[in-house]
Structure 1
Amino acid sequence: MSQPLLFQPITLAGVSSRNRILISPMCQYSATDGIAGDWHLVHLGKFAQGGAGLVMVEAAAVTAEGRITHGDVGIWNDAQIAPLARIAAFLKDNGAVPSIQLAHAGRKASMQRPWYGNAALDAADHARGDLPWRTVAPSAIPMDEGWLMPHALDVNELAALREQWRRATLRAVEAGFEFVEVHCAHGYLLHEFLSPLSNRRTDAYGGDRAGRMRYPLEIIETVRAAWPAERPLSVRISSVDGVEGGIVLEDQIAFAREAKARGVDLIDCSSGGLLGSATAARIPRGYGFQVPYASEIRRAADIATIAVGLILHPQQAEDVLANGHADLVAIGREALFDPNWPLHAELALGGGSGEVFASWPKQYGWWLERREPGLRKLDGPALPFRSA
């Protein structure tokens, strides 16, 4: 039986992945002063043990004011390097490409951890010690009623912030990451520049589409220059705003073309998030609802893409790749439900050869392989997850 495409190795720039499954960055809101802790090590380490090809650390803030919440992981100072290096080393030692997303929350910074309401910080948060800080944006337009009024960044501040992105990228290199993603989606700072709903500037960084793309493209150039040429660079975008007057797919195809011209290797195709939480359901959701964006951007911009969004089933993921819609499949919350999703998907698709559990960590596979004959006698030939 031929190996499913999902489990065929892929080389991105000069980095090879054992398969085409990427675990999406999922914020845990559990860091202290931006320092990744044991929770992050175990949380991310499970996915490497679970067989994913690439595992991405959650949005790491390039400045302290760029955090979404007080619990966000950061990469704005050198004290944050060693804890991230510990995670990157564990991921690599367990077969996954260590990856990280760099981000700035813009006007959506200084907000509640989601289990406290996922809104602007209020008196209850202040009592817990979660005090607000200054937020920044392309224009002085708050995210919603009751949110902080952001400070509109001037050109000198934009230049200083570019330097923070550069330093954050160098820290990611020092920490041992081999894949980096620039976050230009979900209503955070770089997305705010791209969308005409949040960017009302009248200088070179606003106005028409070219003006609105200018600053995100400068950040991409900055990151690319600091990031080793042989390591892949991805950009996560909101393919559409899903709000009247906002970004449409044609805008992001144009952005993807410009990003490619500046050395970007992949476009990670999400959607929405400009207003409300990053997962606010302003766009109709069904299985694989964002796959068409990845497919069209891949075709029209001639760039590799990552498909994400309610990709839950192994055959569904395989079909995304086999039909040419994307080059990688990103698994998010389904990996929280089942950290071994890649290994279970391999069983379901009939991939691998030799011992059934050859792809599993030897500490687990040794035991499971020896249990299997007894289970076959009890249950017949079908393994759990093989026929899902």
Structure 2
Amino acid sequence: MSHAWDRASDRLDLLHRAFPVLGRGELPARVLAVSADLPVEVFQDVPATGAHPSGLIRTGPDAFGPHRPTEPPDPPWDEATRDLAARVGEDVLATLATAGRALGRPPAGFDHRATTTTGLPPVRFADRERARDWVRANLGLLPAVVRACANARSRALAVAVAAHSWTCAPGDAPPAWAHDLSEAGADAAIADRAPRSFTGLMRLGAQWFADRGDIATAERLGVREWAAWERLADTDGMIDVLWHRAGVYAAAGHEDRELDCYVRLRSLYEAGGDHLGVVRTTAATGTAFARLGSDQDALEHLSQAAQEFAALPGTTPVEQATVLITLGRVHWTSGDHYAARRRFHAAHRLLADADRAGPAGRAPVEALADQVRRLLDTEAGRSLPDG
């Protein structure tokens, strides 16, 4: 296909500019095709050895590099280079979005309207496994694309690529890769002066690290998110991140840090006059004490929450029943089976009334009702079944 390269000679500069723009010594065929506005097919005859009209050499099944690699100079960030980075970024973003839908993990709030066209058919995945394979094969490319788009002043695009990369990233991706993506995305959001995009990226990164058991990094990113909301004086954002951090600590068994989050939440709710928020924090605090085995503290907080929930508008039967069930479990483990059954029966009545009220939210109601029935069937002196 050398004749194709003869016709594409004016594209060779863009083709070779892609390597320094992305800061990588090898790139897949589609990225090169998008960079130079070429059909993907022209790369089929690039050999693994020897000269080729493209000046490329094949370094893998779908990887190509310069035939005579040298330390690439910094690319001129002119209009052609910025367009190249934007084309690659939007093509990668479109593929990530397709992969995210296949994997069931598209991020919310990071939409981007494409401004370029490639002339290439979009990438499609037959199933989740194919989508997962593409992400794995292109992991190293993703932070590079984020940085290239940021350098090209397409910073909102860079942020969107980072967000979609987080939601598509496999759980066993190298930690060094995840740290690289985190910093690349944060730098892009800061350069774009988009603090809310920054908080979203910090949340996605914190969740990824928390799911992998790296609580220290998740906490560091959570603190950065909190600081951004605090600078914005956005109480709702601060409350949201504290609930998220509390959930991370609870899942990791760090109830001491979880309780610290509830102290701060209570302060924010009280400052805003949000009594329902205060009561919800009280309930969460009691649940944390229950997991810690601090029965007296748990009984105190959960009893107060159960009493106030019953008198407050805005609560749901599921929310009230959940507190009653947890309170009953604490009574049971402390030996007061009568008080425990009283709480379980109260929860059962709430759920029965909710079930008769209509189909809305019926699934969680039925799941809790089934749990309560199993609790009520437990004989005194026996351990309660798990929830």
Assess same fold via TM > 0.5: no
Which of structures 1 and 2 has the bigger CA Rg?
A: 2
* Structure number with higher strand proportion: 1
TM-score by length of 1: 0.31
Q: Which of 1 and 2 has higher RCO (CA within 8 Å, sep 6+)? A: 1
Higher helix fraction (1 or 2)? 2
